[in-house]
Structure 1
Amino acid sequence: MLKFHASQDLTMNVPNQAVPIEHYLRQPQRLVQAVTDRTQVEQLSPSEFRLKLRPLNFMMFSFQPTVDLQVWAQADGTINLRSLACEIHGVEYLKKSFQFNLTGNLSPESRGTATLLKGRADLTVQVELPPALFLTPKSILETAGNTFLHGILLTMKHRLERQLARDYQAWAKSMQVSADTSTMIPITNPVT
């Protein structure tokens, strides 16, 4: 059994809006959609999502994972995620022994005019060595696998850095507009 592992840390400043980011982070679907293409996500419940990744190529294999994630928020706005299940399409041999474990968190810290978001993701994959790779040294496979997983997490990090602040800003503006319009009281009989 081969085991691959990668971790990725995230630190980013997000400018504060009229609605605090903690309110935004309590909506797990927003974070999931910020990390991936909306067409690749199916919401299974308020806190569970099925994410169909794009096809991946590793060594001589091409496969497409589908991952079920649980994403939930704590009262302080911290977001947690963990994988619940993973299915592999494309390589029959991998389906039998593929084990996927993703965990992560993202926490807000108020810093005056901005909020510092700090997070970490850990990804571990275990798989039985396919016969086509029996002659490849294990150390080479482990290095290649760890690098491959690191690339996946780095792509997620870059998407989050690009998308989250923009999505939060748009969401906060829409919440501000809806709050402003709901507090307006129509005057039907003006006094003259």
Structure 2
Amino acid sequence: MQMQFAAAQTVQLTVPEQPIPIEHYLRQPQRLVHALTDPTRVQSLGEGKFRLKMRPLRFLAFSIQPTVDLQVWSDARGVIRLQSIGSQIRGIEYINQRFSLDLRGILQPERVGDRTYLNGRANLKVAVDVPPPLRLTPLPLLEATGNSLLKSVLLTIKQRLIHQLLSDYQHWVVAETELSQRANYDLPLAKVKLGQASLPAQAG
């Protein structure tokens, strides 16, 4: 017996004014991935692909641990999109062989007057064959439990996004500003040294 579960979450963040617009920050998808989840659970696969090892989840009598491969990309406007391209369930091989996961998300900046907002939406769908031990469980209970589990996953991601993304953006702006200031200081200094080196030696 196959069942399908689904959940969705939206988010809107007010972006504080910074010397560097957030669109520049959002052109680095890897920073978003690390803001969304614990960096120790993320593996970069190259070319905008990442492997996310989720925390163990409890589904009725079973403990499962999903691993999801994500493709993440952004455009010149700073719009970031992510999509799952593979998944695996660790813990129960029966479920792993009869399981599919579809995760899609978008995060985009929007300017309204003199304010900038980040609007995001994520949709998570799972299809799975119910293991034999659960087939006597009432269908409404299975549906409610599965949908609630997916909702909790997206809610956890949303909470990390709210607390981590803007903080990381502000730290990135400080680092980029310091780097730019250092470069602007080093350039005239290098020209002075070059000019001194090119002066002819005076006869004694």
- The TM-score bracket by the shorter chain reads over 0.9
Deviation at 1:113, TM superposition (A): 5.5
Larger radius of gyration: 2
Aligned length: 190
CA–CA distance in 2 between the matches of 1:129 and 1:69?
A: 25
Q: 1:46 to 1:182 in 2, by over 3 A?
A: farther
Deviation at 1:136, TM superposition (A): 1.0
Which structure 2 residue ranges, 5 or more long, are not aligned? Answer: 197-204
CA–CA distance in 2 between the matches of 1:15 and 1:110?
A: 12
Identity of aligned residues (%): 48
Which structure 1 residue ranges, 5 or more long, are not aligned? Answer: none
> Letter of the aligned partner of 2:150 in structure 1?
L
2:139 matched to 1:141?
no
Maintained 8 Å contact 1:15/1:113: no
CA–CA distance in 2 between the matches of 1:135 and 1:126?
A: 18
> Letter of the aligned partner of 2:66 in structure 1?
P
Deviation at 1:67, TM superposition (A): 0.6
CA–CA distance in 2 between the matches of 1:112 and 1:19?
A: 18
Give the TM-score normalised by structure 1.
0.95
2:165 matched to 1:164?
yes
CA–CA distance in 2 between the matches of 1:82 and 1:171?
A: 25
Higher helix share: 2
CA–CA distance in 2 between the matches of 1:143 and 1:19?
A: 44
- Give structure 1 regions of 4+ aligned residues with deviation exceeding 3 angstroms: 111-114, 187-190
Partner of 1:41: 42
> Letter of the aligned partner of 1:56 in structure 2?
L
Deviation at 1:135, TM superposition (A): 0.8
CA–CA distance in 2 between the matches of 1:111 and 1:18?
A: 18
Give the TM-score normalised by structure 2.
0.89
CA–CA distance in 2 between the matches of 1:16 and 1:98?
A: 44
> Letter of the aligned partner of 2:154 in structure 1?
L
Deviation at 1:63, TM superposition (A): 1.2
CA–CA distance in 1 between the matches of 2:183 and 2:157?
A: 37
Instruction: Show CA shifts across 1:94-148 (max 9, x none).
Output: 1111100000000101245542000100000000011111111212211111111
Where does 1:25-36 land on structure 2 (aligned, <5 Å)? Answer: 25-36=26-37
